[in-house]
Structure 1
Amino acid sequence: MTARKYLKGEARIQVAAALKKRYEEGATIRQIAKETGYTAGRVAGLLWFAGTRMRPGAIRCDD
């Protein structure tokens, strides 16, 4: 995947689907960003575009 390339049409659909698969296998957004060279924001946007159900963020409880 090319980090700086504008994605549109079928290419965007294919990349988003690949990122969704990776995320659903357990990779984090930051891991995917590091692997692809995309920013975390771009990864999140493509995951959203693909209709990915996002995992909740970690919540720290300081009792």
Structure 2
Amino acid sequence: MTNLEVQAPAPVDVEGDLASLPGDGARMAPHWVVPDRGASRPVSPALIHGVTVPPASARLLDAMSDYGD
């Protein structure tokens, strides 16, 4: 059996504050890929149709409290 030496990642501050967010973002940025595409153009509201929400999803959202409660 081989004994592999494994290094633990840096400890994560689960109860972090807003001051830790820039560092978190900087550590995650190399993992994100930006797609090569042009700027999106606005869509006319007349072209947006046919959106349906399943009843179970609507009930779930209706039962959730508003943000900040």
**TM surpasses 0.5:** no
Specify which structure has the higher proportion of helix. Answer: 1
Report the TM-score, using the length of structure 1 for normalisation.
0.26
Bigger Rg over Cα: 2
Report the TM-score, using the length of structure 2 for normalisation.
0.24
